[in-house]
Amino acid sequence: MGKVWIEEISDGLYVLRVDDDQTKYFEAMWDIPEGITYNAYLMKTGDAVVLFDAWKKTYEKEFIEALSSIVDPKEITHIVVHHMEPDHSGALPKVLELNGYKAQILGTTFVEKLIEAFYGIKVNFRPVKDGEEIKIGEKTFRFIHVPWLHWPDTMITYVIEDGIFFGGDVCGGYSIPPALFDDDEEVVQNYLPHVRKYIINVIGHYKKYIHQNIEKIKSFNLDLKLIAPAHGLIWRKNPAKIIEFYEQVGRGIPTKGKVLVVYSSMYGFVEKAVSVAVDEVKKLGYNPVVYKFTDTERANISDILGDVPDSEAIIIGTATYEADIFPMMRFTLDEILDKANYEKPVLVLTTFGWGGIAGKKIESLFSKTKFNVIETMEIKGLLQKGLEKKVREGVGKLLGIK
């Protein structure tokens, strides 16, 4: 098991973080060799003790130990549930058992039904309205609903007196940062690519709601002094940075010069065509980021998705396989089109033996999306010298260079 962090991060506010280095596939789907953290928070305010979320059940014992080192669970008066997904609520039934079910649960109307559905328990529940303010102890809590980031139950909590923003999954990211806070710029720069990957893997299907909900949050004119998400770094040096980053990813704002290249090659035919394209990308002064599926290497699809939002352009390479798109590429494309559907130019390179069809099928898939297929090239067998020029010209068209 990874490290457990227990620290008072402001007067009367504690973070309880566990570094999960055991989960290999987040949501049983996304490959995360970088790991992930689960952050819960405890606030003592006047005669109230407020718990914000919990950890997943895997770490229930460790969570109770960490919590009990700060306060007797019986003393908890309120529990704020930002999002009922079990990686944040798994330890909640044990907390409530030790609490004697006295604490009042605060959340959106979905939360009460989900607690009963997930854990078969009835609780002292108080639904909170969007924008509602509640005085608890010496603090005023404002609750803002941000549905579909990434479940319909999602909300954030803002503590008016302190400028503290509890985001749940919002403003979170993958990886196990070596620090609690965003104080070190190098730590932040190493962390942000994992945030981008997290956003697309977890929220990508609902990414249109990122901008909508950020605009909603901005409309409250919050004086943000600290952003405390349920995963990853806590933001106190520059809280606005993570909000801006989420918006950039949601909008698909590119990093200048970045070209994403994804291909599969069974016997080297596709690889030959793609290698020419990559060479041309470099000659034109761009930076290719390459992922491949071959007989010696298999790309991490969750990483591929994470590199779509800030790419200027995309090159797709695949073979025709059983009169269809090569299966690994078909699955990858399905996920890209579902979770990372942006207005970006695409060049498609396909190869075939007795009959080409993969290119046509890819064009059909992309025709229903925001992506713009600039050109599709279907090559019979190995790329011949005469076709190299056409591939290079295709790259020029992709990048808007004639």
DSSP assignment string, 39-61: EEEEEEETTEEEEE----GGGHH
- Coil, helix or strand for 242? helix
The pLDDT of residue 106 = 98
d(CA 75, CA 90): 20
Residue type, 153: D
Cis peptide before 205 (omega within 30 of 0): no
Q: What is the pTM of this model?
A: 0.95
Q: Which two tokens stand for residue 134?
A: 């509640």
Task: Identify the bridge partners of residue 42 per DSSP, sorted by sequence position.
Answer: 14, 51
Task: Identify the bridge partners of residue 290 per DSSP, sorted by sequence position.
Answer: 261
The pLDDT of residue 388 = 87
Residue 269 burial by CB count (10 A; 0-12/13-18/19+): exposed, middle or buried? buried
DSSP one-letter code for 383: P
pLDDT tens by residue, the chain, 402 residues:
799 999 999 999 999 999 999 999 999 999 999 999 999 999 999 999 999 999 999 999 999 999 999 999 999 999 999 999 999 999 999 999 999 999 999 999 999 999 999 999 999 999 999 999 999 999 999 999 999 999 999 999 999 999 999 999 999 999 999 999 999 999 999 999 999 999 999 999 999 999 999 999 999 999 999 999 999 999 999 999 999 999 999 999 999 999 999 999 988 889 999 999 999 999 999 999 999 999 999 999 999 999 999 999 999 999 888 888 899 999 999 999 999 999 999 999 988 766 667 888 999 999 999 999 999 988 776 777 778 889 999 999 999 986
DSSP one-letter code for 378: E
| Domains of the chain from N-terminus onward | 4-251 (3.60.15.10), 258-398 (3.40.50.360)
Task: Identify the bridge partners of residue 379 per DSSP, sorted by sequence position.
Answer: 351
The pLDDT of residue 357 = 77
Residue 251 burial by CB count (10 A; 0-12/13-18/19+): exposed, middle or buried? middle
Q: Which two tokens stand for residue 296?
A: 């010696």
The pLDDT of residue 353 = 63
- Coil, helix or strand for 292? strand
Contact 198, 340 (CB under 8 A): no
